[in-house]
Structure formats: C-alpha cells, structure tokens
Chains A and B, each alone.
Chain A
Amino acid sequence: DQQVKQNSPSLSVQEGRISILNCDYTNSMFDYFLWYKKYPAEGPTFLISISSIKDKNEDGRFTVFLNKSAKHLSLHIVPSQPGDSAVYFCAASARYETSYDKVIFGPGTSLSVIP
C-alpha cells in the first residue's frame, strides 16, 4: 500500500502562472513532509519542507501547505518558470518506529512549464 500518493502523473502550466502540485498521505505519524525536484539523469534535489506542526512554509517562489485533517499537502510555485520543468516528488518522514527519519516517496508529478 502506497503511503504517499501523487495522483497527477503530469501537469502543464503557462509560464508566469501558478503551478499547484498535490500530495496525499495515509500515515498520520509522519513528522516532516518534503518536496524534491528531479531533472533527467540527475538525483533528486531538496526543495522545501514542512514540519507536521505547521500548516504553511514559504521559500521564495515556493510555498508548501499542509492540511493534517485531510492528510493532504500541496506545493505552489508562483510565478512558474521554464526552468521549473522537472519531476516533483512528495516525500514524508517518520521517526516513531525507528531512530532515524525514514523517508517515503510518492511516485512523482512531471511538471512542464510552457514559455
């Protein structure tokens, strides 16, 4: 069973508009939620994270919103730029069963920003 879900495999957005990437999770014990960005032939790179005790975190053009009651988070990119075209992975970590952050990834959403 998939603990982290990204139900949209792909998304196309016009340059300058807002990109909204969605993520749902099933495990209420997750401590942190993270977004990673991946270009072809490269490893994922960390973008932004949010603690489970917060509902919003902002870093420049990127904002992550967390709705714990709905077990849902979203990544907003404003304004979108062509260089944002990549695969975005939603990830969640939990430390309750282990002594370390075990990070579980979603399947990814491929974002295309059209110039």
Chain B
Amino acid sequence: GAGVSQSPRYKVAKRGQDVALRCDPISGHVSLFWYQQALGQGPEFLTYFQNEAQLDKSGLPSDRFFAERPEGSVSTLKIQRTQQEDSAVYLCASSSGTVGSPLHFGNGTRLTVT
C-alpha cells in the first residue's frame, strides 16, 4: 500500500492481558517510530528504529513495553500485563530518514484497557 498501515484499529483488553500492535511502514522507509497519544494531548515519543536496529527506546514508559522490527520493515509494539493507564492511541510513523523529512503516520490503534 501507499501509506502506513496499522492493525488492529481498535483493541479492548482486560487489565493484565498482553497485547500486540502491528505497523506496516511505507516500503523503503528506513526510519520507524512509535508514539503514544493520550486524549487531548499531542503524540508522545516511545521508540525509534533505523532499519532493524532499535536506536532509541527512551520513551517506553516501563519494561512492560517492548518493540521489535526484526527484518527492518514490519514492526510490533507489545504491551505485557496491560494497565488502565496504557489506554491511549498508539501511532506508528515512518520516514525516509533524511534530515528534515516528515513523518508519515498510520491511523493508529486505539487501545482500551478495562
């Protein structure tokens, strides 16, 4: 496809369950980002991949959050033992990686933890 694709669009999880969120970036994009957006706020950085290498995971809120991009294309964000405060929209974005190049976002996964 032409854009960034995320699945599922909506996920409801019971507190304590594990979830996995998938991102298909634009083909050929070196850079891949995950952001978390709470209601009424701007996207907050979680982690960054350059090809398959996770170069920055400083924004991951706890060790329950884990991301991977094993072949340098599709990425998965996994949240273990979900908590209510994990409820948010999780956005994936990709870019060519050149200086100043804009991020291209998917439509996000809305996670609700009950």
Are A101's CB and B45's CB within 8 A?
Answer: no
A99 within 8 A of partner (CB): yes
Q: How far is the CA of A106 from the CA of B37 in the complex (A)?
A: 11
Are B107's CB and A108's CB within 8 A?
Answer: no
Are B103's CB and A103's CB within 8 A?
Answer: yes
Question: In the complex where A34-B102, A89-B42, A89-B43 touch, is A100 in contact with B48 (Cβ < 8 A)?
Answer: yes
Stretch at the interface among A13-21, A37-45, A63-71: A37-45
Q: How far is the CA of A93 from the CA of B97 in the complex (A)?
A: 12
Are B100's CB and A31's CB within 8 A?
Answer: yes
Closest to B104 in A: A46
CB proximity of A8 to chain B, nearest CB, Å: 14
Tell me the total A-B contact number using a CB cutoff of 8 A: 67
Number of interface residues, chain B, beta carbon within 8 A: 28
Are A102's CB and B45's CB within 8 A?
Answer: yes
Are B100's CB and A103's CB within 8 A?
Answer: no
A105 within 8 A of partner (CB): yes
List residues of chain A with CB within 8 A of the CB of B104.
Answer: 46
B91 within 8 A of partner (CB): yes
Are A100's CB and B55's CB within 8 A?
Answer: yes
B-facing residues in A39-59 (Cβ within 8 Å): 41-46, 49, 51
A32 within 8 A of partner (CB): yes
List residues of chain A with CB under 8 Å of any chain B CB.
4, 31-32, 34, 36, 41-46, 49, 51, 89, 91, 93, 95, 98-108
